[in-house]
Amino acid sequence: MQDLKQVIFDILSDGMTPPQRDQLDNPLTAFPRPDYLKRLAQRIQTLEEENNRLRHQAERDPLTGLRNRAAFTRDLHDCIERAIHPSDTPNSHYLSLVSLDIDHFKYVNDTFGHPAGDIVLEVVARTMERSIRATDRAYRVGGEEFTIILPGANDTTADRISEQIRKNIENTQLRHIKHNITASLGTFCVDFRFFPNYYQTEPLQTDDLHQILYTEADNALYTSKTTGRNRVTLLSDDAVQPVQVI
């Protein structure tokens, strides 16, 4: 392993020409000097800013700007952990998950072209973001598939937010696209004070709970799509039958 001072020297001299590097004092004898420390602080700040930019880029869908599936997986795990170990905040033991699918999206692409489809995706994403609370997060997890995590939302709150999203999308007017945009939503609400008791297995791990929440929200979405579309189906944990998680 390189000596720490040599590593710092390499950072400070990054981008210098060989003659410029030669003009630097030997870091083993001259460090620390104020000009070294200032340069080091600037370099660290630059690296932090670049890391933050890359992290943001890696977690975002480039078309809509929403967080992507990787961010969704991580965030849902974190929200489950917080619901299992709730704070003193009211309803912090609740967690709701919404699955959303744009109705007849293939028709939009086939009829009006993929650029029009991209516009629809962007508009739906913006509509979702302005329809949810500051504590909620929206994600694009597939082509026309979205999810929303609603921390601390009981069934009443989750149903109200889901219905607001649906109405706002339905009321959206798009120029040059003669098609009414609608969406189907499936919402699953969990009270983590009781939810694990529905599963007769060994103590569930966060990965198991992630799988269950996503599957149940998707099941609710399927009900909305097969019973007419442009609607919300709410499913709460007391309606879920015990299952064996493998």
The mean pLDDT of 211-219, rounded to a whole number, is 93
- Convert 86-113 to b/e letters by CB count within 10 Å (16 or more is b): beeeeeebbbbbbbbbbbbbeebbeebe
Is residue 203 within 8 A of residue 120, CB to CB? The reply is no
H/E stretch holding 219? helix 206-226
179 by DSSP, 3-state: which?
A: coil
pLDDT of residue 45: 73
Residue the block writes with tokens 């516009």: 119
Q: Domain check: are 140 and 119 in the same one?
A: yes
User: What single-letter amino acid sits at 78?
Assistant: D
The mean pLDDT of 12-26, rounded to a whole number, is 64
144 given a catalytic annotation: yes
**245 belongs to a structural domain:** no
> Residue 30 pLDDT more than 90?
no
Number of domains in the chain: 2
Q: Domain check: are 22 and 94 in the same one?
A: no
- Cα distances from 132 to residues 30, 71, 139, 150, in angstroms, run 56, 18, 12, 9
**130 belongs to a structural domain:** yes
Q: Domain check: are 173 and 207 in the same one?
A: yes
Minimum mean pLDDT range among 3-17, 99-113, 168-182, 219-233: 3-17
Q: Domain check: are 37 and 118 in the same one?
A: no
Minimum mean pLDDT range among 14-28, 90-104, 138-152: 14-28
Q: Domain check: are 75 and 38 in the same one?
A: no
**What is the domain extent for residue 8?**
4-58
Q: Domain check: are 121 and 34 in the same one?
A: no
Minimum mean pLDDT range among 3-7, 68-72, 186-190: 3-7
- The token pair at 11 is 């950072």
Q: Domain check: are 180 and 75 in the same one?
A: yes
47 by DSSP, 3-state: which?
A: helix
Report which of residues 128 and 58 the model is more confident about.
128
Q: Domain check: are 82 and 109 in the same one?
A: yes
**Catalytic option among 81, 144, 145, 202:** 144
Instruction: Please list the helix, strand and coil fractions of the chain in percent, rounded to the nearest 5, in that order.
Output: 55, 15, 35
Q: Domain check: are 16 and 75 in the same one?
A: no
The mean pLDDT of 137-165, rounded to a whole number, is 96
Total-model pTM = 0.75
